[in-house]
Amino acid sequence: MFENTRRYLEKLGLPGGDLYDLPTSGAKFDDGADFRVEVPTINTSEAAASLVKRAEELGIQINRITETFGMFRHTRDEIKEFVAIAKGHGAELIMSTGPRATYDTGATVQTGQGIRIGYRLRGVEQLVRAIEDVKRGIELGVRTFLIYDEGMLYVVTQMRKDGELPADVAFKVSAHCGHCNPASFKLWADMGADSINPVRDLQLPMIAALRAAVPTPIDCHTDNPPASGGFIRNYEAPEIVRLAAPVHLKAGNSAVSGHGQLTTAENGRRMAEQASLVIEFVKRYMPEATQSGPRE
């Protein structure tokens, strides 16, 4: 059915349908690993310290620590603390750029229809301020930034190419952008995204189709807080690794009620424990899969 359209998608380098045969990816990170573990919603340095402490007690490696409250809402000292904690554990630190629509004066984003705006930037001034947020983070030692707006990604990747931003700066695209098909993924990859986070509830054949479209690392949630579905996919984590490698398994924020909240030391501890379950299930059911070690 719909064969002409499917053939045209394939002509563009996209899969003609979701991949129900669930093919093995075979691709890997540059270090040869299949997966990394990312813990999002680590929104205070206190939560970051607790996360790392509990992870080390459990003997697990957290590869990415992701802050989502808004970098421009943290003091310089706290950002420096985030940087030091991540470095001490050998983790990549990702901080979220702002000001983004939910912190702006516009009311549309607060309405039922306007929620489709997501966290995008309103007007040129907010775009400029978000870029300044990146520059401030770079000054304080941050090297990976969470991006919520396709226009911003276009600009900052151009700035990186032109030497306006350091060559080692990386950009992760947030799930809040709402992309959930291979064509959207190809657009983000072509614009220079270093990793891409699809919406959280894609089924395995859909995830496999994303991998078929782009070589870029994919960031897949294995669990979520109640505010964004509340699902926990521990048993699917091994299959996600097989289908989507190189993949960041986003684990742990089912321990909190929603995204963007300030998190506590107890939240950090519980998120480490949830991450340990995901690692356990991958090792149990896909023992051949390898996880990246500490970041140099």
Domains of the chain by start residue, with CATH = 19-285 (3.20.20.70)
Calculate ∠ Cα 293-61-179, nearest 5°: 90
pLDDT band at 276 (very low <50, low <70, confident <90, very high): very high
pLDDT single digits (tens) 64-86: 999 999 999 999 999 999 999 99
For residue 3, count other CB atoms closer than 10 A to its CB: 8
Instruction: Answer for the pair 13, 37: CB distance below 8 angstroms, yes or no.
Output: no
Query: Average pLDDT, stretch 115-136?
Result: 88
In this model, does residue 259 exceed pLDDT 80?
no
The amino acid sitting at 92 is E
- CA pair distance 209, 17, nearest whole angstrom: 7
Query: What is the average pLDDT score of the chain?
Result: 94
Q: What does the pLDDT read at residue 204?
A: 98
Which of residues 296 and 142 earns the better pLDDT score?
A: 142
In this model, does residue 113 exceed pLDDT 70?
no
pLDDT band at 215 (very low <50, low <70, confident <90, very high): very high
Give the 3-state DSSP-derived string for the chain, with helices as H, strands as E and coil as C.
CCHHHHHHHHHCCCCCCCCCCCCCCCCCCCCCCCEEEEECCCCCHHHHHHHHHHHHHHCCCCCEEECCCCHHHCCHHHHHHHHHHHHHHCCEEEEECCCCHHHCCCCHHHCCCHHHHCCCCCHHHHHHHHHHHHHHHHHCCCCEEEECCHHHHHHHHHHHHCCCCCCCCEEEECHHHCCCCHHHHHHHHHCCCCEECCCCCCCHHHHHHHHHHCCCCEEEECECCHHHCCCECHHHHHHHHHHHCCEEEECCHHHCCCCCCCCCHHHHHHHHHHHHHHHHHHHHHCCCCCECCCCC
pLDDT band at 248 (very low <50, low <70, confident <90, very high): very high
In this model, does residue 115 exceed pLDDT 70?
no
Instruction: Answer for the pair 250, 198: CB distance below 8 angstroms, yes or no.
Output: no
Contacts of residue 238, Cβ cutoff 8 Å, sequence gap at least 6: 281, 282, 284, 285, 286, 289
Instruction: Answer for the pair 224, 256: CB distance below 8 angstroms, yes or no.
Output: no
In this model, does residue 230 exceed pLDDT 90?
no
Give the range among 49-58, 122-131, 203-212 with minimum mean pLDDT.
Answer: 122-131
In angstroms, how far is CA 198 from the centroid of its own chain? 8
pLDDT band at 119 (very low <50, low <70, confident <90, very high): confident
CA distances from 148 to 177, 196, 276 (A): 6, 11, 28
- Beta bridge pairs of residue 291: 35
